[in-house]
Amino acid sequence: MLVLALDLTSRKKALEIVEKTKDFIDAIKVNYPIVLSCGIGIVKELSKVKPVIADFKIADIPYTSSLIAEIAFKNGANAVICHGFVGRDVLKEILRVAENYDGKVYVVTELTNDGAKEFMKPFARKIAEIAKEIGCHGLIAPATKPERVKEVREVAKNLEILSPGIGVQKGKLEEIAKYVDGIIVGRSIYNADDPKKAAREIKERFRKAKLTS
């Protein structure tokens, strides 16, 4: 699975990129840049082309988190991404909303950036355990830290794992492929001279890496 991280602020450019890459991507991940620039309506628009993962990294009290999830699903998102460090009451509330829409909930265990080791790393394993225990659908784990993805896979068992950080952030696709179900890629695709070719090549690299791992 190749998820396109569509962190663009222009609706026109975003739709162009999706049109060019749609044969090679399996889902579109939207984050604050596109939704704050183009409005929540962009989710419905994109969902007509591919399933949309609303990456709002929800991290609030249960009530507010449930409102955010509700807005995402009501507007056509297939899945939401939330932070795990907020604890199980928040995750359960988001799951409750997701069930009403047959939607999925992905939980971030630890971010790809270096600074994540300061606070997130010590809790990543526990977050994965809780997400699994309460029935979340998947986890987001960092391609920049293959040993962390390996550990998350051990805990997650059959839970879906999506991994961002390939390309500009120098994540190690070949090393993480065997542990993950999908990769999330943004700039290496939408900033490429030929986004279609870039998406095709990354998808092929991932497929090969999975086959040989």
CB of 202 to ligand BMP, least distance (A): 10
Nearest CA among 138, 141, 140 for reference residue 159: 138
Tell me the site size for ligand BMP, rule CB under 6 A. Answer: 19
Closest-by-Cβ residue to ligand BMP is 186
Using CB under 6 A, pick the residue from 2, 5, 8, 176 that binds ligand BMP: 5
Q: Which of residues 143-172 bind ligand BMP (CB under 6 A)?
A: 164-165, 167-169
Q: Between residue 26 and residue 65, which ones bind ligand BMP under the rule CB under 6 A? A: 31, 55
Distance of CA 44 to the CA centre of its chain: 18
Task: Quote the CA–CA distance of 144 and 11 in Å, as a whole number.
Answer: 29
Residue 167, both tokens: 């390309």
3-state DSSP assignment of residue 3: strand
Q: Which two tokens stand for residue 86?
A: 């907020």
**Measured between alpha carbons, how far is 152 from 125 in angstroms, rounded to an integer?**
6
209 lies in the binding site for ligand BMP (CB under 6 A)? no
Q: Report the interface residues with ligand BMP, using CB under 6 A.
A: 5, 7, 31, 55, 108, 111-112, 140, 142, 164-165, 167-169, 184-188
Catalytic residues: 57
